[in-house]
Amino acid sequence: MKVAICCLISLIAFRTIAQTNNFPTDKFTIEGKVKQVLTFSTSDLDTFKTKSLPDLIITDHIGSVRHTLTHLRGILLKDVLVKAELDAENPKVLSEFYYVLEAPDNYKIVFSWNEIFNTETGNNIYILTDEDGKNYKQTDERIAIVTMTDFRTGRRHMRNIGKIIVGRAN
């Protein structure tokens, strides 16, 4: 009986953690196929140029509205990514590189090097510094990513980014 109760309590606790998916992040690293691992804390990010952004309707994979992000400000993701020197022997091979963004709940999104640095999409991927009038140090989503021009905006809206891993197709 005691064992059963213990199991039940652990199960409930685990489900609660899994459901909230909430592990606020105050920094992220850029690692993988880079010359040097870099870490960006919210204070480091504060030194980048921010821009005011239009409201963003977050839609799921079938296009249903989840919620709307308002009063947004953000830093272009590529302004930060450019600081990490890639382990590439020549410019041509950059077409083989990609960035995997990872949250502590193991949610992942992928951007190719070309998508970020060689298409208009790259001008629309932001690290949010302000949401709903709150600075990112105060939001539950902390360091979050948005891709303003996606058809379904939920997929590449990442809450709580913890890591960016640079990979190479081979």
Ligand X SMILES: Nc1nc2c(c(=O)[nH]1)N[C@H]1C(S)=C(S)[C@@H](COP(=O)(O)O)O[C@H]1N2
Binding site for ligand X (CB under 6 A): 21, 58, 60, 66-67, 103, 105, 107, 154-155, 157-160
21 touches which of ligand X, Mo ion, none (CB within 5 to 8 A by kind)? ligand X
Q: How far is the CB of 160 from ligand X (least distance, A)?
A: 5
Using CB under 5 A, which of the segments 28-36, 49-57, 93-101, 149-157 binds Mo ion?
Answer: 149-157
Stretch that binds Mo ion, among 15-23, 24-32, 54-62, 82-90 (CB under 5 A): 54-62
Q: Determine, following the binding rule CB under 5 A, whether residue 154 of this chain makes contact with Mo ion.
A: yes
Residue 8 amino acid letter:
L
Q: Could you tell me where the beta strands, DSSP code E, fall in the chain?
A: 27-32, 38-41, 51-53, 56-59, 65-69, 72-76, 97-102, 108-112, 125-131, 134-135, 144-147, 163-168
Among Mo ion, ligand X, none, the one that 105 touches (CB under a kind-dependent 5 to 8 A) is ligand X
- Whose tokens are 């949401």? That residue is 131
Q: Count other Cβ atoms within 10 Å, centred on residue 168.
A: 15
Q: What is the DSSP string of 35-48?
A: SS-EEEEHHHHTTS
| The amino acid at 152 | R
Closest residue to ligand X, based on beta-carbon distance: 154
Q: Which residue's CB is nearer to Mo ion, number 32 or number 156?
A: 156
**Least distance (Å) from ligand X to the CB of residue 162?**
9
In the bound complex, what is the minimum distance in angstroms from residue 54's beta carbon to ligand X? 18
Six-digit token pair at 138?
A: 């105060």
Q: Please pick, from the candidates 60, 79, 85, 140, the single residue that binds Mo ion as defined by CB under 5 A.
A: 60
Give me the least distance between CB of 163 and Mo ion, in Å please.
20
Selection from 145, 118, 116, 115 nearest residue 129 by Cα: 145
* 145 binding Mo ion? (CB under 5 A): no
Distance CA 147, CA 59 (A): 12
Query: What are 86's two structure tokens?
Result: 């890639």
